[in-house]
Structure 1
Amino acid sequence: MIRLFKHYSPQAVLLLGLVDAVLLFVAAEAGWVIRAHQIAMAPGSIATRIPQLLSFVAALQIALVSVGAYGVASFLSLRFAAARLAVAIALGVLFLSLIFFLVPALTLWRSNLFYAMIIAIVLLLAGRALLGRTLGSDTFKRRIIVLGAGQRAARIGALAARPGSNVVVAGYVAMGEPGVAVDDAIPRGDIPNLAAHVIDRNATEVVLALEERRNALPLKDLLRVRTTGVAVSEISTFLERETGRIDLNSVNPSWLIFSDGFSSGRMVSGVVKRAFDVAASLLLLVLTLPVIVAAAVAIKLESRGPAFYRQRRVGLYNQPFEILKLRSMRQDAEVAGQAVWAEKDDPRITRIGRFIRKVRIDELPQTWTVLKGEMSFVGPRPERPQFVAQLEEQLPFYAERHMVKPGITGWAQINYPYGASIEDARHKLEYDLYYAKNYSPFLDLLILLQTLRVVLWPTGAR
């Protein structure tokens, strides 16, 4: 993993992205040269069209990120990769059309663009066919030694065994803890020199996964391992990096207090975030007004009651506010205002409501709440006060998610399918805590782009 702007990205993904950028640049230049030869025109120096070529690369690269073309499945299935590439190319054309409209100087000829798109599809598919398996193989994975043989160590082993994992477990060392859950763990007493053992296994990291750390930390062993140049990580830090969430089963208050994150120096980032929210919400309200009006009319025609409804939610610093949404349920969905979790195939949802939920049209009026400053485009989803009171009693650190402004989309929404239970809330909280801890404009941008993937391939929308 490589940390960019406080967010971890696998080396294989970054390398594939770099390869794609080079291939897209080659495709754009090849499209220009082919068309120039067709009309008997000298191609000229490549330096004269660098801005146009880079605009092609940027638009297609953004489209690839937006559709999830760098997900785990892209390394494991060429068919999956081809499907995402096809959608990305189509979106890329739309992005380029917008760029050409706003900045005419960056325009490529339509014939150039056609050839470049065809060549790009071929090159990107060939690149994944040749490199996909290699980038997803053990060659680009870190080898780790796990100190511990209990349930925590077993969890690390299960994580490493998943398709697309970024690590390989080179061995387990039992540290004398009760309840051994890993059969092939080597007792610490059978290893004369732990540092030499780690080096012999070609490991680059040691992960501390003891069940009980109190008075049990092998400080001398860890010091010798660290001085050999091998990284040493605690299980909570390791799981945060590998899963993109804060694992509630292993984390404790002291780790949250002393670990890197929750930076107070967010003044500039906050100003940038608010400026984006204001500009984007104004633009989105203007562009989507016809869609909102059409959906409101359809709702009124299908069922009784208002097309819009307000609902009380808990926002920044536990302050209540009201969100505005298009109504997707019957007017009598909640008797006496009693909050009820949504269910799969919830019978309270109308036919129009099911559609607008699936494509997220019901969320569009919330841009007014963003414009007012009560929400942001990116942040943890705000919950209703009744659910917040229940979840704060049952889930540790739930109140900490209210230390950042709530959002329309968020890290939990793009990484975890819709759920309406305490266990689902627990998983989403782990992602929300990761966002609150590692917030940056870069992460916001990544979430906004990946939200398009969730809209195109909705999972579990209710």
Structure 2
Amino acid sequence: MLDYTNAVGSKVLHAAVLPVVVGLAIKLVEGTFSIGRFAEAWPVTVLFVFAYLGAWSLNSAFEQYPFLGQFEAAFLSASCAFVPVGLVLHSLLGPSLRMIAFVAGGGGLAVYLVDQFFHQFRDSRLVVIPGGVSYRLLATPGVTPMKDACLDSVDVDGIVADLHSSQAAYHRLIAQYRLTEVPTHHAGYLYKLLTARVLLGEDCRTELTVDERPYYPHVKRASDIILLAISQPFTGPILVAASLMLWLESGGPVLSWHERIGRHGETFRMTKFRSVGTGDGRENATSVDRLIQKLRINELPKLWNVLKGDLSLIGPRPKALDFSPELFEEETLLEYRHYVRPGITGWAQVTHGFAVDEARRELEHDLYYVKYRSAALDLLIVYLALKSVLSGFGA
């Protein structure tokens, strides 16, 4: 708690530099600094201070998720905070103050990025104790095992072990590090941090608790509707063009309907573009099919289900009615996965592609999303989805 308070105080102190940045912007734009002009530019100062603190808060949330580098997280959080503020100022201010806001915004962004550059993180040195589910952690990419011979002498930041089932041979080592106030972490906790998945396995007991968030579903539903309205000028013409191409190539209906499992296990009919290929394999797909799949246009008809409330833009992938519950180690996990609305894209799809082959891995990602769902995680999924579309990852 003390570290967090110190961090907040540090960021507030850094944000206090922004009024100086605004003053310098006035000097650069108008050639001289004026107290009166600085007073007129108070919306610029106030909003950019809030943008700086908002970017820091959002970046702090991104830091708990893998698959996003430190500088990438800094640019993403800065974009989400500074760009909306810039658009607001552009609509409120006159031409002369707009230029001051533009220069001040660039300076504030530079201050933020320099601050992030000088606060880089180093890799943690952790000792992973064998036994129990620790083998799952040792098999995770990026985890390098240490030799037993150097365990007693290495300077470490923490101990990692299966606290439910640790081997007796390492009890002395664990006790030794505890005497030096080195923290001990459960292997499942580190597994979630490194993989963004909930640890599942035949040899571990799955305990998943889902916090009630009474306002989050309503905020997310409102966000879905707003984003649908904003995207309509872009998605509408694409839907019309794709429908016309499919109709010209094959004739007949261009949409197909499929039964899917929705929130709380209720069924609904999901729509998507009808495949015009001659078979189920991708090698038999037509040129229109391949184009629609590559550009992910096949996902756009599902926006109708989002409008109806069957789907959300973000959530676990909707399963067919013949989905086998044997994939779940406990029947209650099926209820957890259906605790939220399924989505067009989700945490599993943006981290391991839209064609997730391992059912267990997909389930671990889905349960992670249900447990830690938040606005920051939704924003990160949107960013990674756009990144995957542009890069072709998971196509």
What range is the shorter-chain TM-score in? Answer: 0.7 to 0.9
Count of aligned pairs between the two proteins: 384
Q: 1:367 aligns with which of 303, 326, 329?
A: 303
* Partner Cα distance (1:303, 1:59) in 2: 51
SS class of match (1:365): helix
Q: Partner residue of 2:388? A: 454
Contact conserved, 1:330 with 1:348, CA < 8 A, in 2? Answer: no
Is the partner of 1:271 in helix, strand or coil?
helix
Q: Counterparts of 1:251 and 1:283 in 2: how far apart (Å)?
A: 48
Contact 1:99 1:106 in 2 (8 A): no
TM-score of the pair, normalised by structure 2: 0.72
- Given the superposition, is the C-alpha separation of residues 352 and 202 from structure 1 closer, same or farther in structure 2, using an over 3 Å criterion? same
Query: Which residue does 2:354 correspond to in 1?
Result: 418
Task: Give how far 1:306 is off.
Answer: 2.1
Q: How does 1:251-400 map to 2 (within 5 A)?
A: 252-253=204-205, 255-257=206-208, 261-263=209-211, 265-285=212-232, 288-327=235-274, 329-330=275-276, 332-334=278-280, 346-386=282-322, 388-389=323-324, 392-394=325-327, 396=329, 399=334, 400=336
1:354 deviation in Å?
A: 3.1
Q: Matched residue of 1:403: which SS?
A: coil
Distance change (3 Å), C-alpha of 1:22 and 1:186 = farther
Task: Kindly indicate whether the alpha-carbon contact (under 8 Å) linking 1:24 and 1:56 is maintained by their aligned counterparts in 2.
Answer: no
Q: Give 1:374's aligned amino acid.
A: D
Q: Which residue of 2 aligns with 1:407?
A: 343
- Letter in structure 1 aligned against 2:30: A
State the match for 2:200 in structure 1: 248
Quick check: 1:147 aligned with 2:129? yes
Contact kept? 2:23, 2:33, Cα under 8 Å: no
Provide the aligned C-alpha RMSD in A: 5.0
Secondary structure of the 1:309 match is: strand
SS at 1:324's partner residue?
Answer: strand
Identify which of structures 1 and 2 has the higher relative contact order when contacts are C-alpha pairs closer than 8 Å and 6+ apart: 1
What corresponds to 1:135 in structure 2? 120
CA contact (8 A) 2:314 2:346 kept: yes
CA distance in 2, matches of 1:120, 1:281: 32
Unmatched tracts of structure 2, length 5 or more: none
Counterpart of 2:276 in structure 1: which amino acid?
R
The DSSP-based 3-state class of the residue aligned with 1:408 is strand
Name the CA shift for 1:332/1:383 in 2 (closer, same or farther; >3 Å).
farther
Percent same amino acid at aligned positions? 25
Residues 1:203 and 2:165 aligned together: no
Counterpart residue type for residue 213 of structure 1: S
Of the three residues 409, 425, 438, the one matched with 2:372 is 438
Task: Give the Cα–Cα distance (whole angstroms) in 1 for the partners of residues 312 and 103 of structure 2.
Answer: 40
Tell me, which stretches of 5 or more residues in structure 1 are unaligned? 5-11, 163-168, 172-183, 192-196, 335-341
1:292 and 1:19 mapped to 2: Cα distance?
A: 49
- Return the alpha-carbon distance in structure 2 between the equivalents of residues 269 and 31 of structure 1: 39
Pick closer, same or farther for the CA change 1:269–1:333 going to 2, 3 Å. same
What are the superposed Cα offsets for residues 215-245 of structure 1, whole Å, 9 maximum, x if unpaired? 9697797678557643322211220122211
In the alignment, is the contact (CA less than 8 A) between 1:25 and 1:57 conserved in 2?
Answer: no
Instruction: Return the offset for 1:146.
Output: 2.1
1:213-228 pair list within 5 angstroms: 213=165
